[in-house]
Structure 1
Amino acid sequence: MLAAKLMDLLKSVRPESDFTRSEDFLEDGLLDSFDMLTLVSTIDDEFDISIDGLDIVPDHFRNVQAISLLLARYGVTQ
């Protein structure tokens, strides 16, 4: 399941954070801009895609649902 995989990737970026309790990772301080770039790189490697720089914006990384929607645009559904 994509959501579970994304949670694993988020934990690899910030293992000390509890992403399950947040609806907005950035607003709640769980991710910062550097973490976002690290996550993009991790996602690119994991799913063999290349997220366009124009898509690396806070709205696409606020929560698992937002990240899933972004990945769906790149053909990643599971």
Structure 2
Amino acid sequence: MKELMEILEDLLPGIPLEGRTDLVESGDLDSMTILNLISDISDEFDVEIPVSEVVPENFQSPEAIMALIEKLQ
């Protein structure tokens, strides 16, 4: 989770992440940022995120993103 939080903090500087469940809904995590995030996750965790998994529910919170990573590992 630490690695994921570092990636998110780099992509979203100055945006509070703790306890968030609305990263997509709020617009903090937009489509371009999600593409960058997917690339960073692929590099860091050695997982490929299929297009079918690129849905808002999987990116609403750091915990949801981590659950997706764990599911794909």
TM range (shorter): 0.7 to 0.9
Query: What's 1:37 paired with?
Result: 35
State the alpha-carbon separation in 1 of the partners of residues 40 and 7 from structure 2.
Answer: 7
What is aligned with 2:47?
A: 49
Note if 1:25 corresponds to 2:30. Answer: no
Deviation at 1:43, TM superposition (A): 0.3
Percent identical among aligned pairs is 34
Give unmatched runs, 5+ long, in structure 2: none
Question: Where has structure 1 moved over 4 Å in runs of 4 or more?
Answer: none
Cα RMSD of the aligned pairs, angstroms, is: 1.3
Q: Find the aligned partners of 1:22 and 1:71 in 2 and give their Cα distance.
A: 18
Counterpart CA distance in 1 for 2:45 and 2:38 is: 10
Which structure ranks higher in relative contact order (CA pairs < 8 Å, sequence separation ≥ 6)? Answer: 2
Q: Does 1:6 align with 2:21?
A: no
The number of equivalent residue pairs is 73
How high is the TM-score relative to the length of structure 1? 0.81
Residue 19 of structure 1 contacts residue 30 of structure 1 at CA under 8 Å; is this kept in 2? no
Q: Take 1:60 and 1:23, find their aligned partners in 2: how far apart are those partners?
A: 10
Tell me which amino acid in the other structure corresponds to 1:30: D
Unaligned runs of 5+ in 1: none
